[in-house]
């Protein structure tokens, strides 16, 4: 069953409040959404690439280019629209995991909708409620940070991830811990530190952190292992993990006591499930990380978060926390304080709405294409 057509949309949403990470401050967020139409069903996949190449090299524009020129044509001419066949078909294309992940997610959703199964079941999970974590960015002041973490804790979020960077680490974290002794905290550095900061990071260990996430650059897993030998808190890897092979390597050197699994970063749901399975075998706790997903991306993450080794709160909170309108119907909301549940409907169970601005749209069919 060949897909009838594949549509790419670049969509933009307004944040409920500005967000700042170590690179920049955002008031709007832009995503690419892929829709695959086949056999009367439509599968949807949201690309996790951002507008800027700071978290990794991909952007919404590079993802669009890869999808339009290379990935979508491969799928349009294939007789097998399964996500596995697609991944096999683009194996010769290096990198660009987020672009691949978007189309791969749409194919998973298509398959689940066609089979009448919720996506979580299709992935090997069970329809169960999932604990939710929140993320707080770099705030204008320590008082505002403490207030934001307090709000998240009071709303029932099972852990709060606080963004840190050199100059915004020890004092803000100590203030949060002093005000909120019981909140489970992850300090997420987004690779901002180097070997010269080992003592500083080890010095955070008396704060009872659940984890220090991605302290060092992506390739510096030995440095992460060196930090792990000095702290009780887990070193959690995020940017370092783009494949199962990366997790195996990090685990081998002792750098990987917790894994943040991001669908886009690892090239799609199939690799995310493989990483999950390895973590489960090795006793490494994991959770689903987010990149400020719109609604469709949140429903995708939630399906993955129902797998059994996702034992820590995942980044699958309600989008109303982050967006004025998230472009999906239904919108993901808490089912109880700190918890969310997948929909019983087939696939993601959600549709794209016109609540987000479509800034670019392109529909491709097989007879338009040259395959590279
Ligand atoms: Mg992170």
In Å, how far are 151, 175, 240, 313 from 215, measured between CA atoms? 26, 20, 10, 20
- Could you tell me the distance, in angstroms and rounded to a whole number, from the CA of residue 348 to the centre of ligand 1? 24
- Could you tell me the distance, in angstroms and rounded to a whole number, from the CA of residue 215 to the centre of ligand 1? 9
163 assigned to active site:
yes
How far is Cα 41 from Cα 259, in angstroms, rounded to an integer?
34
pLDDT at 322: 85
Provide the token pair at 323: 């967006």
CB atoms within 10 A of CB 7: 18
- Could you tell me the distance, in angstroms and rounded to a whole number, from the CA of residue 292 to the centre of ligand 1? 11
- Could you tell me the distance, in angstroms and rounded to a whole number, from the CA of residue 10 to the centre of ligand 1? 24
- What pLDDT, in 10s, does the model give residues 133-152? 999 989 999 999 999 999 99
pLDDT at 70: 96
Provide the token pair at 191: 């690779």
pLDDT at 370: 55
Q: Are strands 351-352 and 328-329 parallel, antiparallel or unpaired?
A: antiparallel
How far is Cα 40 from Cα 210, in angstroms, rounded to an integer?
46
The third-level CATH classification (topology) of the domain covering 5-116+353-371 is: Enolase-like; domain 1 (3.30.390)
Provide the token pair at 158: 């099972």
Q: What is the pTM of this model?
A: 0.94
- Could you tell me the distance, in angstroms and rounded to a whole number, from the CA of residue 196 to the centre of ligand 1? 21
Out of 31, 100, 242, 262, the active site residue is 262
Strand residue runs (E) in 51-197: 130-131, 134-136, 160-163, 185-188
pLDDT at 367: 81
Strand residue runs (E) in 274-332: 286-288, 328-329
- Could you tell me the distance, in angstroms and rounded to a whole number, from the CA of residue 218 to the centre of ligand 1? 11
- What pLDDT, in 10s, does the model give residues 220-272? 999 999 999 999 999 999 999 999 999 999 999 999 899 999 999 999 999 99
Q: Could you tell me the residue ranges of all domains in the chain? A: 5-116+353-371, 122-351
Provide the token pair at 150: 């307090």
> What φ, ψ does residue 252 adopt, rounded to 5°?
-60, -35
pLDDT at 129: 95
pLDDT at 320: 84
- Within 217-266, where are the H helices? 221-228, 244-252
Q: Is the pLDDT of residue 43 over 60?
A: yes
Residues 6+ apart with CB under 8 A from 354: none
Contact between 90 and 18 under an 8 Å Cβ cutoff? The reply is no
- Name the DSSP letter for residue 147: H
- Could you tell me the distance, in angstroms and rounded to a whole number, from the CA of residue 229 to the centre of ligand 1? 21
Burial tier of 167 (Cβ tally within 10 Å: 0-12, 13-18, 19+): exposed
100 assigned to active site:
no
Would you place residue 372 in the very low, low, confident or very high pLDDT band (cuts 50, 70, 90)? low
How far is Cα 277 from Cα 269, in angstroms, rounded to an integer?
12
How far is Cα 157 from Cα 35, in angstroms, rounded to an integer?
32
Q: Is the pLDDT of residue 332 over 60?
A: yes
pLDDT at 272: 97
- What pLDDT, in 10s, does the model give residues 269-321? 999 999 999 999 999 999 999 988 999 999 999 999 999 999 999 999 888 88
Please state which architecture CATH assigns to domain 122-351. Alpha-Beta Barrel (3.20)
Burial tier of 156 (Cβ tally within 10 Å: 0-12, 13-18, 19+): middle
How far is Cα 274 from Cα 241, in angstroms, rounded to an integer?
12
Helix (H) / strand (E) containing 16? strand 5-20
Beta bridge partners of 369: none
Helix/strand/coil for 350: coil
pLDDT at 1: 72
Q: What is the mean pLDDT of residues 176-186?
A: 96
Contact between 77 and 372 under an 8 Å Cβ cutoff? The reply is no
How far is Cα 116 from Cα 104, in angstroms, rounded to an integer?
18
Contact between 162 and 188 under an 8 Å Cβ cutoff? The reply is yes
- Could you tell me the distance, in angstroms and rounded to a whole number, from the CA of residue 143 to the centre of ligand 1? 23
Provide the token pair at 265: 């970063």
- Could you tell me the distance, in angstroms and rounded to a whole number, from the CA of residue 165 to the centre of ligand 1? 12
- What pLDDT, in 10s, does the model give residues 52-70? 998 889 999 999 999 999 9
- What pLDDT, in 10s, does the model give residues 114-136? 999 999 999 999 999 999 999 99
């Amino acid at each position: 069953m060949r897909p009838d057509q594949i549509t790419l949309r670049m969509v933009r949403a307004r944040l409920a409040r500005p967000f700042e990470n170590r690179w920049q401050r955002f008031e709007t967020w832009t995503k690419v959404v892929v829709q695959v139409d086949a056999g009367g069903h439509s599968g949807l996949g949201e690309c996790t690439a951002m507008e800027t190449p700071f978290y990794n090299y991909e952007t919404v524009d590079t993802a669009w280019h890869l999808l339009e020129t290379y990935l979508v044509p491969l799928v349009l001419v294939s007789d097998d629209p399964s996500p596995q066949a697609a991944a096999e078909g683009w194996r010769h294309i290096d990198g660009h995991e987020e672009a691949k992940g978007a189309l791969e997610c749409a194919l998973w959703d298509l398959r689940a909708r066609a089979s009448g199964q919720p996506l979580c079941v299709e992935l090997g999970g069970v329809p169960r409620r999932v604990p939710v974590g929140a993320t707080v960015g770099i705030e204008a002041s320590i008082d505002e940070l403490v207030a934001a973490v307090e709000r998240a804790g009071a709303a029932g979020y099972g852990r709060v991830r606080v963004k840190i960077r050199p100059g915004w680490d020890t004092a803000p974290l100590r203030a949060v811990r002093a005000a909120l002794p019981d909140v489970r905290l992850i300090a997420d550095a987004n690779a901002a530190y180097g070997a010269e900061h080992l003592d500083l990071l080890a010095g955070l260990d008396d704060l009872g952190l659940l984890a220090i996430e991605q302290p060092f650059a992506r390739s510096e897993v030995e440095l992460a292992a060196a930090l792990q030998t000095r702290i009780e808190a887990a070193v959690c890897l995020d940017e370092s993990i783009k494949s199962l092979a990366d997790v195996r390597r990090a685990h081998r050197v002792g750098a990987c006591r917790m894994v943040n699994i991001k669908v886009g970063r690892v090239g799609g749901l199939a690799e995310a499930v493989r990483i999950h399975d390895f973590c489960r075998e090795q006793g490494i706790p994991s959770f689903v990380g987010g990149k400020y997903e719109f609604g469709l991306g949140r429903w995708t993450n939630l399906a993955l978060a129902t797998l059994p080794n996702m034992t820590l709160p995942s980044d699958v909170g309600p989008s109303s926390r982050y967006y004025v309108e998230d472009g999906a119907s239904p919108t993901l909301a808490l089912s109880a304080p700190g918890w969310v549940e997948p929909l019983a409907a087939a696939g993601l169970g959600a549709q794209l709405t016109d609540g987000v601005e479509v800034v670019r749209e392109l529909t491709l069919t097989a007879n338009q294409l040259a395959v590279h």
